[in-house]
Amino acid sequence: MANKNIRSLSSRKGLDDNLFENIAELSHKNAPKKDFQKLAKRFLVDDSVIVGTSSFYDFTREENRAKKIHVCSGTACMVAKTQTNLQKNIEKHFKKEEIGHAACVGHCHTNNAFMFDDKTFSAATNEELTEILSMRGQSGTPNNSYNIASNTTPVLTSKIEKVSNFYALSEKFKANPQQVIQELKTSNLRGRGGAGFPFWFKLDAVIKEPLNATGEETQKYIVCNADEGDPGAYSDMYLLEHQPHKVLFGMYMSGLSVGADTGVLYIRGEYPDSIRIVSNAIQELKDNKLIGNFKFKIIRGQGSYVCGEETALLNSIEGLRPEVRVRPPYPTQYGLYGKPTVLSNVETFANIHWILENGGAAYASLGTKLSTGTKLVSLDSFFNAPGIYEIEMGTPLATVFNEFGKGVKSDIKAFQLGGPLGGIIPMHKIEELSLDFESLKSNGFLLGHASVVSIPTDFPMIKFLEHLLEFTADESCGKCYPCRIGSFRGMELLQKAQNEDYKIDQHLFADLLETLEIGSLCALGGGVPLPIKNGLMYFKEELNQYFTSN
């Protein structure tokens, strides 16, 4: 009830005078306590609401406000072992208290990654770093290039010749939202954020929401989850920076279909270039009067992985602590500010224009029966040709890795596919799998964002599993104790087994994983047991020394 009341108070000023943005602005200015108190008074909320929110995020909490540079601590950079040297080089230029961390900045294709001056970079040497730092305040282009290709009809990677013609397609469907839903239903477009939920169902559910008490159409929202926090993934970054109008059109068309006049893009703060490029694309639409009265709003994330969970993301926009909501009700009934909301991922929205232009059946003819269309795959720096590849669903993983990634540069024992909650696939299993929801799920893995992090032969699996639990413990919203406590206890057990004369009881560890799996409110705590179980199953010989033999 308390959150509902705060949500109601926050909604009074809405997106134009957004509570979350106000908190972030004061935090970045390192404003005095009295300014936060004034903000609480202006929004008619308790001081504790403002403190609870500002103390949650990496970029707003008080102890981090003096940070001037942020070193990437993502999984891809970790296994590449580049960040220790980068940290040493950065310490030649900054005091230790001025150096922070970022969970992933999307440079998984090069590593040596960091954020500085509201841009992201890679610097393998101190000379490269010195040159980057000397460019502060100048409009140089960050070094963020990678391979881009497709093995099929390009849905997401094709070029837009003329923006006005691209948006003209909406005229054909404005008067018939049911036709939009039917084409999407025929296409069997499934959510590309990881869960694979049929997208058409969300539109259909929001359209069916009843009128408000006065018999008028209630306020509705379209929200794009651009908080791509999976280390190893940079496919959403590609779309936001190279194909922003595909994303914006998908949101706009969704809005026209369900009667929503506002689209919100929640873009992670670790992607500053994405924010700038999308902002420019929105301005282009306004200048050319291509979207009528439809409004777009960008909300900049402040450093929190759990905001990738849809209900935590909604709470974040509202200025609440980004804790996961209990469902039902679902966002389609009770979403942003308690209003019906279509909430989906960047890549999902980016597919809509092609589907409406070419027909749902044409999209369904790509891929497999249950996993239609294409999927963007992110390949990390261990591949000879790292980059973003648009791959038709059902393509063998071996084809993706060998024909597009051109194989790997060094000895690799496994790949983690689908982010920190994705499965750990041993090298020998690659030949048996294909890129689709069913193949991976039936073999005990996960498609997720289709991000690939290579695990070198010389990287201890126990260290990798410890990292996954440490990541979960650090990023947990804290609302449910299985995730909050269980991930931390799991991390402690793995650390103790490495550092002391101690073996982990297998049954105790299995119980811990089961508690996380069935007791967590969202996929963070509920999903992390999957890769850990994969590790225990496929790397027994390496891990046996840390566990009891019974």
Residue 28 pLDDT exceeds 70: yes
Total domain count, the chain: 5
Is residue 64 included in any domain, yes or no? no
The pLDDT confidence band at residue 138, using thresholds 50, 70 and 90, is: low
Identify the pLDDT of residue 143.
Answer: 55
Is residue 63 included in any domain, yes or no? no
Rounded to 5 degrees, what are φ and ψ at 389? -125, 130
Identify the pLDDT of residue 126.
Answer: 97
Which helix (H) or strand (E) covers residue 341, if one does?
Answer: strand 341-345
Is residue 136 included in any domain, yes or no? yes
Identify the pLDDT of residue 341.
Answer: 97
- 169 with 303, same domain? yes
Six-digit token pair at 417? 């596919």
Which of 454, 428, 17, 508 has the alpha carbon at shortest distance from 25?
17
Is residue 61 included in any domain, yes or no? no
Average pLDDT over residues 123-151: 83
What is the percent of the chain with per-residue pLDDT over 90, rounded to a whole number? 90
**Distance separating alpha carbons of residues 24 and 73, to the nearest angstrom:** 22
Residue 354 pLDDT exceeds 70: yes
**Distance separating alpha carbons of residues 93 and 72, to the nearest angstrom:** 17
Is residue 62 included in any domain, yes or no? no
DSSP structure class, residue 384: S
Q: Is 450 left (phi over 0), alpha (psi -120 to 50) or beta?
A: left
Identify the pLDDT of residue 100.
Answer: 96
Q: What is the mean pLDDT of the chain?
A: 94
pLDDT tens digits, residue range 285-325? 999 999 999 999 999 999 999 999 999 999 999 999 999 99
- 221 with 268, same domain? yes
Q: What is the DSSP string of 106-130?
A: S-TTT--EEEETTEEEE-SSHHHHH
348 vs 213, more confident: 348
- 478 with 516, same domain? yes
Q: Cα–chain-centroid distance for residue 425? A: 21
Residue 344 pLDDT exceeds 70: yes
- 444 with 466, same domain? no
Six-digit token pair at 32? 């005095």
- 162 with 279, same domain? yes
CATH of the domain at 447: 3.10.20.600
Identify the pLDDT of residue 2.
Answer: 58
When mean pLDDT is compared across 207-216, 285-294, 436-445, the lowest value belongs to 207-216
Identify the pLDDT of residue 145.
Answer: 81
pLDDT tens digits, residue range 456-467? 999 999 999 999
Q: How many CA atoms lie within 13 A of 314 on its CB side?
A: 27
Identify the pLDDT of residue 137.
Answer: 65
* DSSP reduced 3-state for 424: strand
- 293 with 336, same domain? yes
Is residue 481 included in any domain, yes or no? yes
**Distance separating alpha carbons of residues 117 and 141, to the nearest angstrom:** 12
CB 357: neighbour CB atoms within 10 A? 12
Residue 218 pLDDT exceeds 60: yes
pLDDT tens digits, residue range 496-508? 999 999 999 999 9
- 169 with 291, same domain? yes
Q: What is the DSSP string of 174-221?
A: TT-HHHHHHHHHHHT-B-TTTT--BHHHHHHHHHTPPP-TTSSPPP-E
Residue 1 pLDDT exceeds 60: no
Q: Exposed, middle or buried by CB within 10 Å (0-12, 13-18, 19+), for 9?
A: middle
Identify the pLDDT of residue 183.
Answer: 98
The pLDDT confidence band at residue 139, using thresholds 50, 70 and 90, is: low
- 343 with 416, same domain? no
CATH of the domain at 290: 3.40.50.11540
Segments forming the whole domain that contains residue 216? 155-364
pLDDT tens digits, residue range 230-272? 989 999 999 999 999 999 999 999 999 999 999 999 999 999 9
CATH of the domain at 470: 1.20.1440.230
pLDDT tens digits, residue range 423-435? 999 999 999 999 9
- 16 with 140, same domain? no
Six-digit token pair at 405? 């990634």
Buried-state track 408-442, b at ≥16 Cβ within 10 A, e below 16: beeebbbbbbbbbbbbbbbbebbeebbbbbbbbee
Mark which of 102, 122, 145 sits at the end of a domain.
145
Which helix (H) or strand (E) covers residue 389, if one does?
Answer: strand 387-392
**Distance separating alpha carbons of residues 141 and 242, to the nearest angstrom:** 14
Is residue 369 included in any domain, yes or no? no
* DSSP reduced 3-state for 417: strand
pTM, 2 dp? 0.95
Average pLDDT over residues 512-525: 94
Identify the pLDDT of residue 194.
Answer: 72
Which helix (H) or strand (E) covers residue 22, if one does?
Answer: helix 19-28
Task: List % helix, strand, coil for the chain (3-state, nearest 5).
Answer: 45, 15, 40
**Distance separating alpha carbons of residues 304 and 144, to the nearest angstrom:** 22
Identify the pLDDT of residue 29.
Answer: 94
Cβ–Cβ < 8 Å for 522, 312:
yes
Is residue 239 included in any domain, yes or no? yes
- 139 with 200, same domain? no
Q: What is the DSSP string of 48-109?
A: HHHHHHHTTSTTTSGGGTT--EEEE--HHHHHHT-HHHHHHHHTTTS-GGGEEEES--S-TT
**Distance separating alpha carbons of residues 506 and 217, to the nearest angstrom:** 56
pLDDT tens digits, residue range 381-395? 999 999 999 999 999
- 214 with 160, same domain? yes
Residue 215 pLDDT exceeds 80: no
- 327 with 345, same domain? yes
CA dihedral 155, 157, 163, 167 (to 10 degrees): 20
Residue 452 pLDDT exceeds 60: yes
